[in-house]
Amino acid sequence: DTGVSQDPRHKITKRGQNVTFRCDPISEHNRLYWYRQTLGQGPEFLTYFQNEAQLEKSRLLSDRFSAERPKGSFSTLEIQRTEQGDSAMYLCASSLMGSTATEAFFGQGTRLTVV
């Protein structure tokens, strides 16, 4: 296990379509985060899981967004009825609860382009 992996790396979709992204965290990490990064900005928090429980959701996470982590391992982020404003890099990160610094390790991201 070399780190956090995300799939796909790139996704181009037409407006109105649904898309789903997958994140596989570092295997022993029990915390998983989703962030969104638009051009020229830092990542913005979307949602966070501890094991399979979704503990926090940002106001950025509209009703069209849903995230799951059914077995406390990998996670999926689905966007329904995509809009052009959803175009961004979607980053996943994981960390280990109880680690001294709660440092989060990030995946390479999924770049979404809505046309």
Partner 1 sequence: GEDVEQSLFLSVREGDSSVINCTYTDSSSTYLYWYKQEPGAGLQLLTYIFSNMDMKQDQRLTVLLNKKDKHLSLRIADTQTGDSAIYFCAAHTGRRALTFGSGTRLQVQP
Q: Which residues of this chain interact with partner 1, rule CB under 8 A?
A: 4, 31, 33, 35, 40-45, 48, 50, 55-56, 58, 91, 93, 101-109
From the list 3, 97, 91, the residue with the least C-alpha distance to 47 is 91
Ramachandran category for residue 20: left, alpha or beta (phi over 0 → left; psi -120 to 50 → alpha): beta
* Between 14 and 40, CB nearer to partner 1: 40
* Between 36 and 82, CB nearer to partner 1: 36
* Between 14 and 103, CB nearer to partner 1: 103
**Smallest distance, Å, CB 51 to partner 1?**
13
**Smallest distance, Å, CB 106 to partner 1?**
4
DSSP 85: G
Please give the angle made by the CA atoms of 79, 84 and 48, to the nearest 5 degrees: 35
Would you call 7 helix, strand, or coil by DSSP?
Answer: strand
Q: Which two tokens stand for residue 17?
A: 């379509």
* Between 28 and 103, CB nearer to partner 1: 103
Residue type, 73: S
Residues in the chain: 115
**Smallest distance, Å, CB 101 to partner 1?**
5
**Smallest distance, Å, CB 58 to partner 1?**
8
